[in-house]
Amino acid sequence: MKKKKTYHHGNLAESLLDAVDEIASQFGLEAVTLRACAKLAGVSPSSAFRHYVDKRALFTAFATRALNQLTAAMSAAKAIAEKDGQDAFKAVGIAYIAFAIDKPAFFRAMWREEAIYSNDDHYRQAANNLSAQLTGGFADTIDDKDPETLSAQELLAWSAVHGLANLFVDGPVGNATPRQQKIEKAVEMIDALMPAFQPSNA
């Protein structure tokens, strides 16, 4: 574990979330406690409890941060791809998978409703924002006739990238494989997926 840091009170809430990431990345989400996060952040447990009343509240904030970061990563990937004249759909899909590879604790935490307060306003807003990205033509990279629901193509896109991301993080695919090789495999999968999004000539 990294050397203990000291934090100013003003950013303690975020520092505790950083501690969740560090502990969970090394030992799993089950190892996270408010006391352990407080110790890593260099503050007393009572200080941590002023920000998060319990472990579930801490996990809720952590999952909210994860959802917001994934949404931002997808939006940024689309913007960069369009600026550079690259395929935006591929860029968004790779951004989703890269997020899981680079931030596995965040990826695991996003949908663990049994461990969070899923009715929390901030969490619900973050979840709705990501959902809007996915139902809105996969971040506006494929044709979308109804932005309120997931079309078959949107489901196919999300299922594919989420499935491969999950296989990389918790499954048998890519164990001990360097990050770049995982990204290359993801590109190959998305290339294989692309014909499903091409207009039919029939």
Q: How does pLDDT run along the chain (202 residues), one tens digit per residue? A: 444 444 444 589 999 999 999 999 999 899 999 999 999 999 999 999 999 999 999 999 999 999 999 999 999 999 999 999 999 999 999 999 999 999 999 999 998 889 999 999 999 999 999 999 999 999 999 988 888 888 999 999 999 999 999 999 998 887 888 999 999 999 999 999 988 886 554 4
Asked if residue 202 belongs to a domain, the reply is no
Residue 27's alpha-carbon distances to 1, 14, 34, in angstroms, are: 10, 20, 15
pLDDT of residue 144: 84
Domain enclosing residue 79, as ranges: 55-197
Together in a domain, 42 and 96 = no
CATH at residue 151: 1.10.357.10
Together in a domain, 126 and 142 = yes
Together in a domain, 83 and 178 = yes
Q: How many domains is the chain built from?
A: 2
Task: Report, in this order, helix, strand and coil percent for the chain, each rounded to 5.
Answer: 75, 0, 25
Which of 177, 2, 165 minimizes the C-alpha distance to 94? 165
Residues 6 or more apart in contact with residue 148 via CB below 8 angstroms: 135
Contact 134, 128 (CB under 8 A): no
Together in a domain, 9 and 46 = yes
Together in a domain, 8 and 105 = no
First to last CA, the chain: 59
The tokens describing 196, both together, are 């499903």
The Cα 134–Cα 71 span in angstroms is 9
Asked if residue 118 belongs to a domain, the reply is yes
pLDDT of residue 184: 96
Together in a domain, 14 and 88 = no
Together in a domain, 144 and 105 = yes
Predicted TM-score of the model (pTM): 0.88
